[in-house]
């Protein structure tokens, strides 16, 4: 499964079941560019499992980002069965995301 792109219209349906990570990012954000390969690697690693790796472009979905309480980017929202239950702010090593996924899958 490739990285899924989240919008206001598809977020609820996309993350409603299982574990999801949503990378909130922007083109102009250098730290966001640093974690982009990590997000891609996670999507590849968890392709066969019921884990969705998603991206939400801040500039294309400002209202949704505000609704989600995004205060800084990059922020990776950690979701379980449609609810945001945690977040990881800033550049994190891949192990931080893997640990969260493994603890909640």
Domains of the chain are 4-104 (3.40.30.10)
Average pLDDT estimate for 90-102: 96
Give pTM, 2 decimals: 0.94
Separation between Cα atoms, residue 59 and residue 33, nearest integer Å = 15
- In degrees, to the nearest 5, what angle opens at C-alpha 21 toward C-alphas 44 and 61? 115
Average pLDDT estimate for 74-82: 96
Q: What does pLDDT average to over the chain?
A: 95
54 annotated active-site: no
Q: Which of 32, 54, 78, 79 is catalytic?
A: 32
- Asked if the model's pLDDT at residue 92 lies above 90, the reply is yes
Q: What is the DSSP string of 57-87?
A: EGGG-HHHHHHTT--SSSEEEEEETTEEEEE
Give the DSSP letter of residue 40: H
44: tokens are: 């590849």
Work out the pLDDT band at 1, boundaries 50, 70, 90.
low
Q: pLDDT of 27-76, one tens digit each?
A: 999 999 999 999 999 999 998 888 999 999 999 999 999 999 999 999 99
């Amino acid at each position: 499964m490739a990285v899924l792109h989240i919008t206001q219209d598809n977020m609820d349906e996309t993350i409603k079941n299982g574990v999801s990570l949503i990378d909130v990012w922007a083109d102009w954000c250098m730290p966001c560019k640093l974690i982009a390969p990590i997000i891609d690697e996670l999507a590849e690693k968890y392709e066969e499992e019921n884990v969705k790796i998603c991206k939400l472009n801040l500039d294309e979905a400002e209202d949704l980002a505000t609704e989600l309480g995004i205060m800084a980017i990059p922020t990776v929202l950690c979701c379980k069965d449609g609810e945001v239950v945690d977040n990881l702010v800033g550049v994190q090593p891949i192990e931080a995301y893997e640990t969260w996924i493994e603890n909640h899958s």
